[in-house]
Amino acid sequence: MIDRISAWCRPLFALLLALTAWAAHADSLVNLRRAALPALPSPAQALAVADGRAAALTPDGAWLLDAAGQRWQHQGWTPPQPVQGTATGAGQSVLLLGANGETAAIARLVLQQERLVVQPLPAPPMPLREARAALTADQLWLAGLDAQGRAVLLQLPLQGAGARWQTHPGWPGDSAPRAVVVQTRATYVVAAGADPASADHLWRWTAEAGWVARGDVPGRLAGPWGRASGQAHVLFVVEPTAGGAPRMMSWQTITQSWADLPDSALPGTRQALPWRDGWLWTDAAGKAGTLEIESGKLLLKTLDWVVIVVYLVSMLGIGLYFYLKEKRQSTSEFFVGGRSIPFWAAGISLYAANTSSISYIAIPAKAFETNWQYMTNNLIAVVGLMFVAVWIVPLLRRLDLMSVFSYLETRFHPAIRMMASGLFMLTQLGSRMSVILYLPSLAIATITGIPVTWSILMMGLFTICYTALGGMKAVVWTDIVQLVVKMGGALFAIGFIVWSLDGGWAEFVRTAAAEDKTRVFDFSFDLGKATVWGFIFLVLFDVVLTFPKDQVLMQRTLSTPNAKEAGRSIWAFAAIMIPGGIVFYGIGTALFVFYKAHPERMNPLLSIDATFPLFIAAELPTGLTGLIIAGIFAAAMATLSSIMNSVSTLASVDFYEKLVKHPDPARSVRFAEWMTVAAGLLGIGFALLLSRYDIHSLFDVSIELAGLLGGGFAGAYTLGMFTRRANSPGVAIGVASAIVLTTIAWSFSLVHPYLYLGVSIMLCIVVGYLASLFFPTPTRSLRGLTIYKQDAVE
């Protein structure tokens, strides 16, 4: 049997190798666009930007490029001191002023009523020779040599009054700086080689690690010209070691790989200025022009669209099938599938709902940028789920709930139920649904050129349709189909990358090990990092003590036939979690290995979260691209449908049926259908708002928002199930205090964002229990509501 399978697989792998062989020798994905500008009357001695307008400083004075880029306007103005250099960022420039090659003063160049003026900034604490600078929206970095020839790095915050320079140790070797660039939360200094024939050296500085060598530049910089691009690239104008005209090169800060950009030669360049997505340059004769990166859209082919359409129609078909099959008069059928879902289907649906587009796009991006450190959460969570399967889920399943927040009413008070339910719905719509909608829309926009706005609308509306039609049964059974699609696509992507490498699996393992890309555990006690101890803390509070807080997950266990089956669904969920995590983190590592070998295949303009979508669009053959895109749709829609169904359930059971007189099941179901639509539209609105911001890591954002919005009420379950003393006034105080105190911790960045959820839950538990001591002991029956034997149901 094995021999037959092997014989069948060999031709398939050969075909796969044939399809991927071209990728290792493919050209750059980007093109460069050149444009001529009017010539300057005399050569520029420095170039700068004032409020987004280019300015040239020449022996004849300053010249300002008009808004249309058609002519240079003479300013009749000269700087107060000779300009030793400039730094540009965020549409502004600062001038390095001094004399005899020393920088002793700094001034910001601004535009007031079409006239250039300077605004002095605090002077450096010491004059610096051969100074180079980098400017961001809120920081100015200055590198140079002091009077004793020692390298110095200075930092000036630009926000707030009373800003003062901070002095940091200089780079090893004390060689002259050639350029300074800030990118990916780090400062990079290019230092001159030992002699004019030597290549320049690249150094990286962060407050945590200090100076770290990043290898040699493939030549020498043509000038002090470096700039950040996208979220993980730096562009330089380099004179190659092999000779030839200076040209634009990119350096990838994550893979630490250099790439030539095609047709980027800049012969005779005398001055260059970061401009839009490239450079504005001038030569010794005053000639001027621009050279910018532009990336074309990698459009889907007909076969790709066929695969995607078949998938989307299938999802709608499942929803329509259950709509026609069910009479839609029973809240039990719509909300919990008539409590007839088998445990294995509920377990698969639990995992599918828990692995959204965040898993499919943002986790590979996180693993590509860092390592497998966040995988620690999966490993520890499995242990926590064992406790949940034995103690927590059977307890709640025996209560025959539809809304898990009904427990809080029975244990405490109706107001606690409604408050917690409302906070949960806000968390799901604001922190989860928005990110889950935005991420695949980013992928679609990267691949097809369809604007992110339209992608969000298309994704959201399709999901609204089949969720509103089919209810919980449609959600669960589509989850199973979607898990097969997305895991199949993910596994194929990893296999595709490994087989495309020259050394195959051996090269993959060697590169990943050399760069420590599969590191999982961090046992440090640094609260600013995602450590093992932080994950244990998080899992204890987020899973073990408060698992019932998540209606999206609990609704599946409540849909099983009995308490025993509910517990089994959690065991099935746990069994899938670790291999599933390995797959998604493995994609990120595979992407790192691939792009380290082929840096020319990256697009310097894109965000880190767009890495996997870029690979899908640029490297996979027709048809398979559509399959992976369907996997992205599946990852997103499985969780989106779960959120919509859960929010509509809560709106109907926790609010409509509590506030409306004489509600009947048919009206409750119709109300839930409309609330499904409303929840989808609200999620779409939040996603559209999120798309307006340039976010470094959407994975981190989703974690941060979940902690700020979703942690406060969760501790109420711990107080209810694990204590007999907690009461409703104490719990209310605990919830309110947790939200306020966690927001304070967030505003001062006291801990790593991953810890916000655990901190919020802990605060709710501690404050809620202590506050309960000031109020009378509960007198209502606790039978079946706690884990204690005296309250057990026989």
Sheet with 269-275, edge to edge strand ranges: 30-37, 288-295, 278-283, 269-275
Q: By mean pLDDT, which of 65-74, 435-444, 496-505, 667-676 is the weakest?
A: 435-444
Instruction: State the DSSP code for 181.
Output: E
Whether the Cβ atoms of residue 477 and residue 348 lie closer than 8 Å to each other = no
Q: What is the pLDDT of residue 793?
A: 64
Q: How confident is the model at residue 14 (pLDDT cuts 50, 70, 90)?
A: very low
Concatenate the DSSP letters of all residues of 645-697 into one string. HHHHHHIIIIIIHHHSSS--HHHHHHHHHHHHHHHHHHHHHHHHHHTTS--S-
Identify which of 100, 24, 115 has the alpha carbon closest to the alpha carbon of residue 63.
115
Residue 371 backbone phi and psi in degrees, to 5: -155, -155
Share of the chain above pLDDT 90, in %: 35
Exposure string for 703-715, b = 16+ CB within 10 A, e = fewer = bbbbbbbbbbbbb
Instruction: Determine the longest span between alpha carbons in the chain, in angstroms.
Output: 95
| CA distance linking residue 666 with residue 477, whole number of Å | 23
Q: What is the pLDDT of residue 326?
A: 63
Sheet with 219-229, edge to edge strand ranges: 219-229, 233-240, 247-252, 257-265
Q: How confident is the model at residue 236 (pLDDT cuts 50, 70, 90)?
A: very high
Coil vs helix vs strand at 403: coil
Whether the Cβ atoms of residue 715 and residue 763 lie closer than 8 Å to each other = yes
Whether the Cβ atoms of residue 399 and residue 406 lie closer than 8 Å to each other = yes
| CA distance linking residue 672 with residue 680, whole number of Å | 12
pLDDT at residue 6 is higher than 60: no
Which pair of structure tokens corresponds to residue 63?
A: 């010249």
Q: What is the pLDDT of residue 228?
A: 94
Give bridge partners of residue 333 from the DSSP assignment.
none
Ramachandran region of residue 268, left (φ > 0), alpha (ψ -120 to 50) or beta? left
| CA distance linking residue 505 with residue 305, whole number of Å | 32
Sequence-separated (6 or more) residues with CB below 8 Å from residue 179: 132, 189, 190, 221, 224, 225, 226, 236
The 3-state secondary structure of 717-782 reads: HHHHHHCCCCCHHHHHHHHHHHHHHHHHHHHCCCCCHHHHHHHHHHHHHHHHHHHHCCCCCCCCCC
Q: What is the pLDDT of residue 737?
A: 92
Instruction: Report the length, in residues, of the chain.
Output: 794
Q: What is the pLDDT of residue 361?
A: 82
Q: In a 10 Å sphere around its CB, with 0-12 CB exposed, 13-18 middle and 19+ buried, how is residue 233 labelled?
A: buried
Sheet with 61-65, edge to edge strand ranges: 46-50, 53-58, 61-65, 72-74
User: What would the pLDDT profile of 277-294 be if each residue is shown by its tens digit?
Assistant: 999 999 988 899 999 998
Coil vs helix vs strand at 277: coil
Residue 399 backbone phi and psi in degrees, to 5: -85, -5
pTM confidence score: 0.83
pLDDT at residue 22 is higher than 50: no
CA end-to-end span of the chain: 52
pLDDT at residue 442 is higher than 50: yes
User: What would the pLDDT profile of 765-793 be if each residue is shown by its tens digit?
Assistant: 999 999 999 999 888 888 888 888 776 66
| CA distance linking residue 340 with residue 560, whole number of Å | 6
Identify which of 237, 270, 222, 224 has the alpha carbon closest to the alpha carbon of residue 43.
270
**How far, rounded to the nearest angstrom, does the alpha carbon of residue 695 sit from its chain's CA centroid?**
7
Q: What is the pLDDT of residue 92?
A: 92
Residue 740 backbone phi and psi in degrees, to 5: -65, -50
| CA distance linking residue 433 with residue 478, whole number of Å | 18
Q: How confident is the model at residue 8 (pLDDT cuts 50, 70, 90)?
A: very low
- Please give the mean pLDDT across all residues of the chain: 85
Q: What is the torsional sign of CA 74, 79, 82, 88?
A: negative
Coil vs helix vs strand at 198: coil
Identify which of 412, 409, 297, 325 has the alpha carbon closest to the alpha carbon of residue 775.
412
pLDDT at residue 13 is higher than 60: no
Q: What is the pLDDT of residue 646?
A: 87
User: What would the pLDDT profile of 517-540 be if each residue is shown by its tens digit?
Assistant: 988 888 888 776 778 888 888 888
| CA distance linking residue 350 with residue 17, whole number of Å | 36
Average pLDDT over residues 302-310: 85
Q: Beta strands 72-74 and 61-65: pairing type?
A: antiparallel
Tell me the H-state helices in 193-284. Answer: none
| CA distance linking residue 544 with residue 715, whole number of Å | 11
| CA distance linking residue 740 with residue 760, whole number of Å | 9
The helix (H) or strand (E) run that includes residue 437 is helix 434-448
Instruction: State the DSSP code for 515.
Output: T
| CA distance linking residue 352 with residue 487, whole number of Å | 10
Q: How confident is the model at residue 714 (pLDDT cuts 50, 70, 90)?
A: confident
Exposure string for 391-406, b = 16+ CB within 10 A, e = fewer = ebbbbbbeeebbbbbb
Q: How confident is the model at residue 7 (pLDDT cuts 50, 70, 90)?
A: very low
Q: How confident is the model at residue 296 (pLDDT cuts 50, 70, 90)?
A: low
pLDDT at residue 161 is higher than 80: no
User: What would the pLDDT profile of 450-466 be if each residue is shown by its tens digit?
Assistant: 788 888 887 888 888 87
Which pair of structure tokens corresponds to residue 776?
A: 């009378």
Q: What is the CA radius of gyration of the chain?
A: 30
Four-CA torsion 63, 69, 71, 72, nearest 10 degrees: 0
pLDDT at residue 19 is higher than 70: no
**Residue 510 is which amino acid?**
R
Outline where DSSP puts E strands in 217-349: 219-229, 233-240, 247-252, 257-265, 269-275, 278-283, 288-295
Q: By mean pLDDT, which of 265-269, 298-302, 502-506 is the weakest?
A: 298-302
Instruction: State the DSSP code for 579.
Output: H
Q: What is the pLDDT of residue 1?
A: 39
pLDDT at residue 428 is higher than 90: no
Highest mean pLDDT, choosing among 323-337, 468-482, 561-575: 561-575
User: What would the pLDDT profile of 369-404 be if each residue is shown by its tens digit?
Assistant: 998 998 998 899 999 999 889 888 888 888 888 888
Q: What is the pLDDT of residue 710?
A: 67
Whether the Cβ atoms of residue 766 and residue 735 lie closer than 8 Å to each other = no
pLDDT at residue 23 is higher than 70: no
Whether the Cβ atoms of residue 491 and residue 583 lie closer than 8 Å to each other = yes
Sequence-separated (6 or more) residues with CB below 8 Å from residue 22: none
Residue 606 backbone phi and psi in degrees, to 5: -90, 160
The 3-state secondary structure of 29-87 reads: CEEEEEEEECCCCCCCCEEEEECCEEEEEECCEEEEECCCCCCEEECCCCCCCCEEEEE
pLDDT at residue 139 is higher than 50: yes
Q: How confident is the model at residue 696 (pLDDT cuts 50, 70, 90)?
A: low
Which pair of structure tokens corresponds to residue 205?
A: 């500085």
Instruction: State the DSSP code for 725.
Output: S
| CA distance linking residue 324 with residue 318, whole number of Å | 10
Q: What is the pLDDT of residue 526?
A: 76
Identify which of 652, 676, 375, 396 has the alpha carbon closest to the alpha carbon of residue 520.
375
Q: How far is CA 106 from CA 1, 273, 371, 698, 776, in A?
A: 76, 18, 40, 36, 66
Q: In a 10 Å sphere around its CB, with 0-12 CB exposed, 13-18 middle and 19+ buried, how is residue 342 labelled?
A: middle
Whether the Cβ atoms of residue 571 and residue 412 lie closer than 8 Å to each other = no
| CA distance linking residue 78 with residue 63, whole number of Å | 10
Q: How many Cα atoms within 13 Å fall on the side-chain side of residue 548?
A: 32
Whether the Cβ atoms of residue 492 and residue 627 lie closer than 8 Å to each other = yes
pLDDT at residue 18 is higher than 50: no
Q: Beta strands 186-191 and 201-206: pairing type?
A: antiparallel
| CA distance linking residue 435 with residue 427, whole number of Å | 11
User: What would the pLDDT profile of 589-640 be if each residue is shown by its tens digit?
Assistant: 999 999 999 999 898 988 888 888 888 888 888 888 888 887 777 777 777 8
User: What would the pLDDT profile of 169-224 be if each residue is shown by its tens digit?
Assistant: 999 999 999 999 999 889 999 999 878 778 999 999 999 889 999 999 999 999 99
